[in-house]
Structure 1
C-alpha cells in the first residue's frame, strides 16, 4: 500500500482561528440581570429601598449593584434584595451579621476584592437560607470558605491561593451542580474526598493547579471534568470508567507520556470531547467510537494509526470523530 502523508495546517494559522477552538478560552463570565444572566442592561434610577452608595434599578428592585465603588466593607443590605453584586471593590472581610436582613439572598458576587480567610467570620454565610450562587474569585483565600447553604448550585472560587479544601466543608450540598476552582494551588492530597456526596455535581474545573496525580473521590455523575495545566503524569487503571455520563474531559498541558496512560484509559462510551494537547504522548491512545472531538496537538506523535480511533466492526460501528487536531509536527506518516 502506498504511504500517504497529511499536510497539517501550520499552528500559527490555527491560532488566528482561535475563536473556533473554544478549549483555549479562559473560563470567564459576565454579570447581568437575574432574568438574563449574560446580558447587560441600563441601570436607570435607583429605588428607595437601596444602600445609598449602591444602585437598585427600578426594573430589577431585588438586585443591588455595588460594584466598582472602592468599598472596603460590605454596605448595609436592605431586606428584599436577592441579587447582590459587590465585585471590583476593596472588601477585606465579611462579618457574621453582614447579611442579617437578607436571609433570602440568592446570588452573591464578591469577585475581585481583597478577602482573606482570617477576615471572613465563621457564620458569615449561615443566615443565607436560599443562596444559589456564590462567586468569590480573584481574592486572597487560602482555604475554601464555608460552611455554605445547602441550597447552593453554583460555586466559583477561581484565582485565589487555595491550598486545601477542609474535609466535609461541602458536605450536604446536594444541589451543587457547578464548581470552578481553577487557578489555585491545590494538590491531590488536599482535595481527595472533598467532593464526596455532591450528588448533583456535573461540572468540575480543577485546571491551573498543582496536581501531580488525579484526585480520588470525584463524584461519578460528572459530565464535564477539567484538569488542564497541572503536572499529572499518569492515569490510574480504570480511573475514568467509573463516571456514568462523562462527556467532556480535558487534560491538556500536563506531563502525560505513553507509559503513564493505560491502553483503555480513554475508551469511555459517553465521551464526546477529549483534550490531550500539549503533553508528551508519542502514540494516539485508543478512544471510543462515539468520541467527536479529539485534541492531540503539540505532543510527540510520529505516526497516525487510524485503528486507534476508527475501529470499523459493522455498518453501525464506526468512528464519530468530527474534529481531530494533530498539528505541531509537519508531517504524519499513515
Structure 2
C-alpha cells in the first residue's frame, strides 16, 4: 500500500464524492462498463427511463443499432460527453432533449436517421466539437443552428445527407480541423469555401461528387496534411495545397490519365508526402516520383498501366501496389533504387517473367502476383532465389506450381 495507491484513492474520491457523481448506471436496462453506458443492440424503440438525474461516472452513451424514433426531453443522462446513435430511425429530437448536457456534450454521432430538418435542439449544444451525420434525408439544414455550431466544431462529417450545393454556413466553422463530406451531387465548391478555416483544417475528405478538378479553394489550406477525393470525375490536380506539408494524398476512382501532370503537381510535396494513392484512375504509366524523399506508399491498382519503363524509383518507398493493370513486363530500371521496399503487389497483371532486377529487393517481405496467368518461371530467374525464399508472404503460381515451390524445390536443379 504505497503512496501511489493512496493517491489513486484520493483522486477517485474527488471524482466521485466531491463532484457529486456516482457509479450507478443512469438506465436500469443498460449495463455500464468503464464509464460507458451500453444500450446498443437491445431492440429499443426509445431510450429507457432514467434512474437518476444526477451526474454519474458514466459519461459515454452507446445506443447504436436500435429502433429509436424519438429522443424526448428528460431521456438523456446528465453531463454526458459522448453519444452514438448510429442505425436508429430517429424522426424527432425534442427541443429540450439536450438540456442536461448542453455544456458537456462534445461528440454526437447519428446515422440512418429519418428526420428531414436539423433539430432546433442542437442550439443547446454549446460545447459540441464533433458532429457526424450520415445516411439521413435532410431537406432543411436550419442554417441558424448549423451556423451556431460552427464556433466550437473541430470535426464535422456529413455523408449521404442530401446536400446538393456547398453549404454557406460552413464559413462559420473557424476551428475545424477535419471535414468529411460525401455522397452528394455537388458539382462545384466556391473559391472562398475554406477561407475561414485555412489556418486550422488538417484533414479534408470529399467523396462521391461530380467535380472535374481539385477546387481552387483547396490551394488556401496551408495546414492540410491529408487530402482525399474519391468517386469523382477529377482529372485536373492543379490546385493542390502547395503551401502545406501534405503527407497523404488520395485521388481514387477519378479520371486522372496524364501521368506527367500527376508527377509534376507532386513536386511541392517532395519532402513531406508519405502516401500517394491513385487507385482506379486512367493512368497508362507510373508517374515520376523519383524526386520524392519521403514517399513510402504508392497505390496504383486498377489503372491502365502498361508502360514497362516507368517505375517508382524513390528510395523511401516501402509499399507498391500495381494490381489489376495490363502490365506485361517490368524494365530492369523500374525497381532500382528501392532498398526499403517491403511489399509489391502485381496481382491480375499480364506479367510473363519475373524481373531479374527484383534480386536487389533485399527487404522484400510480401510479394503477390496471383492471377498472372501467363507467368512462367525458368532457370533464367534462378538469381531471384535468395530474395524470394526470404519473403514471408509469397503468392502466385508459375504455371502448375507455386512460385515458392519452384524456387525452393525445382530451381536448385538449374545449372550454376
Common fold: TM-score over 0.5: yes
CA spacing shift, 1:234–1:41, aligned 2, 3 Å: farther
Q: CA separation in 2, counterparts of 1:246 and 1:54?
A: 49
Q: CA separation in 2, counterparts of 1:40 and 1:101?
A: 23
CA spacing shift, 1:106–1:202, aligned 2, 3 Å: same
Q: Once the 2 structures are TM-superposed, how far is the Cα of residue 73 of structure 1 from its aligned partner?
A: 5.0
Q: Aligned residue for 1:207? A: 230
- Which entry has the higher C-alpha Rg, 1 or 2? 2
Query: 2:124 matched to 1:105?
Result: no
RMSD, matched Cα: 3.0
1:224-235 alignment, distance < 5 Å:
224-235=248-259
Q: Aligned residue for 1:180? A: 205
Greater mean alpha carbon deviation, residues 242-251 or residues 324-333? 324-333
Deviations 1:137-174 (A, max 9, x none): 12211233322421111211122222222221221212
Q: CA separation in 1, counterparts of 2:74 and 2:313?
A: 53
Q: Aligned residue for 2:345? A: 325
Gaps of 5+ in 1: 1-35, 312-317
CA spacing shift, 1:75–1:271, aligned 2, 3 Å: farther
Q: CA separation in 1, counterparts of 2:144 and 2:322?
A: 46
Q: Would the aligned equivalents of 2:284 and 2:305 in 1 still touch at CA under 8 Å?
A: yes
TM-score by structure 1 length? 0.74
CA spacing shift, 1:295–1:198, aligned 2, 3 Å: same
More strand by share: 2
Secondary structure at 1:249's aligned position in 2? strand
Secondary structure at 2:315's aligned position in 1? coil
Q: Once the 2 structures are TM-superposed, how far is the Cα of residue 41 of structure 1 from its aligned partner?
A: 5.6
Query: 2:171 matched to 1:147?
Result: yes
More helix by share: 2
TM-score by structure 2 length? 0.60
Q: CA separation in 2, counterparts of 1:306 and 1:279?
A: 21
Q: CA separation in 2, counterparts of 1:192 and 1:67?
A: 31
Q: CA separation in 1, counterparts of 2:142 and 2:191?
A: 19
Q: CA separation in 1, counterparts of 2:107 and 2:36?
A: 15
Q: Would the aligned equivalents of 2:205 and 2:228 in 1 still touch at CA under 8 Å?
A: yes
Query: 2:336 matched to 1:298?
Result: no
Q: Aligned residue for 1:29? A: none
Secondary structure at 1:242's aligned position in 2? helix
Greater mean alpha carbon deviation, residues 47-56 or residues 265-274? 47-56
Q: Would the aligned equivalents of 1:172 and 1:197 in 2 still touch at CA under 8 Å?
A: no
Gaps of 5+ in 2: 1-33, 40-47, 56-70, 356-416
Q: Aligned residue for 2:15? A: none
Higher relative contact order (CA 8 A, sep 6+): 1
Q: CA separation in 1, counterparts of 2:191 and 2:121?
A: 26
Secondary structure at 2:146's aligned position in 1? coil
CA spacing shift, 1:157–1:325, aligned 2, 3 Å: same
